């Protein structure tokens, strides 16, 4: 099963930008900070100047010399040659938070999107935080009720960028009580893995489909492959969701998970052939 053809670092949001900067420091370790170009894509946010200032400051403080901003506010911008050329030069593309539907609705079907896919073929790193995390998968969550028991048909989903397959990602996970909506997403799509990522926590997924946890929180992997029953397709869509035989793994710092085999495992050193 093809899970990830790309190197991905997916952050649950609210990553530390002031103190140890563990996750952002880890991100910067994956590129040549003197020579490689790190492109910050602010398309998800309606406040791109604030995002630009924030991430230019933090990545500069971590030693990255070539930081470029992909400032796209509408579909017309996604056709501009100078923006496409930014993607061509990128060793890493960082998607900020905001609204994940802005990313897909503005970039989908444009030369920028085509170049993003091509960037993956040359082993560019893709990084996303918050909305930029959700958009990584082929199907993404765009809405649902927080801090409530799961209900049958209250989850809203849409196509994502498709940089990772057969998973669905939710962010700000325990902080916003999103277990119910992730369970609802898996009930509707039991063939996929649901991955919930806490704030100031990230997963690094390599091209072999091996996931490793970074940061201070937890990562929750919900596996509905062996689910024996759910009432998700029955009438009365506002009823509480019922599911049998659903498996959940809770992973913390340095824990690893094989997304292809759907099993956690322990290994001191994960091989990263694409480390720069």
pLDDT tens, residue by residue, 176-205: 999 999 999 999 999 999 999 999 999 999
Catalytic residue among 15, 134, 172, 230: 172
Q: Could you confirm whether 249 is annotated as catalytic?
A: no
Catalytic residue among 115, 134, 137, 199: 199
| DSSP-assigned beta bridge partners for residue 229 | 244
Catalytic residue among 15, 115, 130, 204: 130
Distance CA 206, CA 272 (A): 7
Percentage of the residues of the chain whose pLDDT score is greater than 90: 85
Q: Could you confirm whether 234 is annotated as catalytic?
A: no
7-148+159-172+193-216+255-261: CATH architecture: 3-Layer(aba) Sandwich (3.40)
Q: State the pairing for strand pair 263-265/256-258.
A: antiparallel
141-151 pLDDT, tens digit each: 999 878 777 87
The whole-number pLDDT of residue 155 equals 86
Give the orientation angle of helix 111-121 with respect to helix 81-89, to 10 degrees. Answer: 10
H, E, C per residue of the chain = CCCCCCEEEEECCCCCCCCCCHHHHHHHCCCCCCCCEEEEECCCCCCHHHHHHHHHHHHHHCCCCEEEEECCCCCCHHHCHHHHHHHHHEEEEEECCCCHHHHHHHHCCCHHHHHHHHHHHCCCEEEEECHHHHCCECEEEEECCCCCCCECCCCEEEECCCCECCEEEECCCCCCCCHHHHHHHHHHCCCCEEEEECCCEEEEECCCCEEEEEECCCEEEEECCCCCEECCCCCCCCCECCEECCEEEEECCCCEEECCCCEEECCCCCCCCCCC
193-243 pLDDT, tens digit each: 999 999 999 999 999 999 999 999 999 999 999 999 999 876 667 789 999
Average pLDDT in the chain: 93
Q: Is the pLDDT of residue 160 over 60?
A: yes
Give the mean pLDDT of 258-267.
Answer: 90
Q: Could you confirm whether 60 is annotated as catalytic?
A: no
């Amino acid at each position: 099963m093809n899970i990830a053809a790309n190197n991905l670092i997916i952050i649950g949001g609210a990553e530390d930008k002031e103190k140890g900067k563990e996750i952002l420091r880890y991100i910067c370790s994956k590129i040549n900070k003197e020579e490689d170009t790190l492109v910050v894509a602010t398309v998800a946010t309606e406040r791109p100047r604030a995002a630009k200032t924030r991430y230019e400051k933090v990545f500069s403080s971590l030693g990255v010399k070539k930081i470029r901003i992909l400032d796209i506010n509408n579909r017309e911008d996604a056709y501009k040659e100078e923006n496409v050329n930014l993607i061509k030069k990128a060793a890493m593309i960082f998607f900020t938070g905001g609204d994940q539907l802005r990313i897909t609705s503005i970039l989908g079907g444009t030369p920028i999107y085509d170049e993003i896919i091509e960037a993956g073929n040359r082993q560019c790193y893709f990084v996303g935080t918050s909305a930029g995390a959700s958009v990584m998968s082929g199907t993404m969550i765009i809405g649902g009720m927080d801090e409530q028991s799961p209900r049958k048909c209250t989850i809203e989903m849409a196509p994502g960028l498709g940089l990772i397959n057969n998973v669905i990602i939710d962010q700000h996970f325990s902080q916003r009580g999103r277990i119910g909506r992730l369970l609802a997403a898996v009930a509707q799509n039991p063939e996929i893995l649901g991955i919930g990522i806490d704030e100031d926590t990230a997963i690094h997924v390599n091209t072999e489909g091996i996931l490793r946890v970074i940061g201070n929180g937890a990562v929750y992997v919900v596996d509905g492959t062996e689910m024996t029953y759910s009432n998700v397709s029955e009438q009365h869509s506002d009823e509480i969701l019922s599911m049998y035989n659903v498996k959940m793994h809770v992973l913390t710092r340095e824990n690893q998970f094989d997304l292809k085999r759907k099993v956690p495992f322990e290994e001191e050193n994960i091989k990263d052939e694409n480390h720069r």
